[in-house]
Chains A and B, each alone.
Chain A
Amino acid sequence: MTDGFQSCAITGSGGSGAVTAGMMVLDAAARAGCYGLMTRSAGPQIRGGESAAMLRFGASPVACMGDSFGILAALDWGNFFRFAGEIPLTAQTLILADPGAGKVPPQLEAYSEQIRWVNLRELADSLPGGRFNMVAVGAIAACAGLPLAAVLQAASAILRAKDAAVIDASHACISLGFQQFSSDGKEPLGKEPDGKKTTALPEVPRRWSISGNEAAGLGALRGGVRFVAAYPITPATEILEWLAPRIARLGGALLQAEDELASINMIIGSSFGGVPSLTATSGPGLSLMMEGLGLAVASETPVVLVNVMRGGPSTGIPTKSEQSDLNIALYGLHGDAPHLVLAALDIGDCVLTLHWATRLAEHLQTAAIVLSDQLLGQSRAIIDPPGLPELNLARRCMPLDQGGDYRRYQFTEDGISPISAPGVPGGSYTADGLEHNESGTPSSMAGDHAAQLAKRRDKLTRFDVGPLWAEISGEGDLCLLTWGSSHGAVLEAAATLNASGRPTRVIGLRLIAPLQRDALLAAISGTRVWVVELNQDGQLFHYLRSEAALPEHAMSFARPGPLPLRPGEILTAIAAEATDDHR
Chain B
Amino acid sequence: MTTASSETATHSSTTLRAKDYKSEVKPVWCPGCGHFGVLAALTKAFAYLGLPKDEVVTVSGIGCSSRIPAYIDGYGFHGVHGRALALAAGLKAARPDLTLVVAGGDGDGFSIGGNHFLHACRRNMDMTYVVMDNEVYGMTKGQASPTTQPDWSHSKLTPRGTGVPRFYPAAIALAAGASFIARGFSGDPNELVRLLVQALEHPGFALVQVLSPCVTFRPEQKGWKQAVHPVAEPAPDDPGKAASLIQSDDGLAIGVLYAQRQPVYQPRNRAEAELAEIEAEFLL
Among B2-10, B93-101, B155-163, B255-263, the one that faces the other chain is B93-101
Given contacts A266-B90, A270-B94, contact A249 B278 (CB under 8 A): yes
Given contacts A259-B115, A430-B76, A431-B76, contact A208 B282 (CB under 8 A): yes
Q: Is A273 within 8 A of B25, CB to CB? A: no
B268 lies within 8 A of chain A by Cβ: yes
B282 interface neighbour in A214, A274, A422, Cβ under 8 Å = A214
B83 lies within 8 A of chain A by Cβ: yes
- Complex Cα distance, B94 from A59, in Å, reads 45
8 Å CB interface, A242-283 against B:
246, 248-255, 257-259, 261-263, 265-275, 277
Residues of A close to B73: CB separation below 8 A: 428
B219 lies within 8 A of chain A by Cβ: no
Residues of B close to A271: CB separation below 8 A: 90, 94
B91 lies within 8 A of chain A by Cβ: yes
Number of contacting residues on B, CB 8 A?
51
Residues of A close to B227: CB separation below 8 A: none
8 Å CB interface, A378-416 against B:
382, 385
CB distance from B66 to the nearest CB of A (A): 10
In the complex, residue of chain A having the shortest beta-carbon distance to the beta carbon of B74: A428
Residues of A close to B94: CB separation below 8 A: 226-227, 253, 269-271, 273-275, 277
B57 lies within 8 A of chain A by Cβ: yes
A267 interface neighbour in B90, B116, B277, Cβ under 8 Å = B90
B31 lies within 8 A of chain A by Cβ: no
Q: Is B90 within 8 A of A268, CB to CB? A: yes
Residues of A close to B279: CB separation below 8 A: 218, 385
Q: Is A385 within 8 A of B282, CB to CB? A: yes
B267 lies within 8 A of chain A by Cβ: yes
Contact with A along B77-96 (1 / 0, CB 8 A): 11110110011111111110
Q: Is B115 within 8 A of A266, CB to CB? A: no
Residue of B25, B92, B93, B267 most packed against chain A (CB within 10 A): B93
Residues of A close to B248: CB separation below 8 A: none
Residues of B close to A30: CB separation below 8 A: 284
Residues of B close to A222: CB separation below 8 A: 275
A295 lies within 8 A of chain B by Cβ: yes
Q: Is A428 within 8 A of B271, CB to CB? A: no
Q: Is B284 within 8 A of A269, CB to CB? A: no
A206 interface neighbour in B53, B93, B98, B283, Cβ under 8 Å = B283
B169 lies within 8 A of chain A by Cβ: no
Given contacts A221-B275, A277-B90, contact A268 B54 (CB under 8 A): no
Contact with A along B237-259 (1 / 0, CB 8 A): 00000000000000000000000
Other A-B pairs beyond A257-B86, A422-B75, A432-B77, 10, CB < 8 Å: A30-B284, A250-B273, A250-B274, A267-B90, A268-B77, A269-B90, A385-B283, A422-B57, A430-B75, A442-B67
8 closest residue pairs by CB, A with B: A251-B271, A266-B90, A269-B90, A270-B94, A269-B91, A430-B76, A262-B86, A273-B95
Q: Which A residues contact B (CB, under 8 angstroms)?
A: 27, 30-31, 157, 206-210, 214, 218, 221-222, 226-227, 229, 246, 248-255, 257-259, 261-263, 265-275, 277, 291-292, 294-295, 299, 382, 385, 422-434, 440-442
Q: Which B residues contact A (CB, under 8 angstroms)?
A: 25, 53-55, 57-59, 67, 69-70, 73-80, 82-83, 86-95, 97-98, 115-116, 118-119, 267-275, 277-279, 282-284
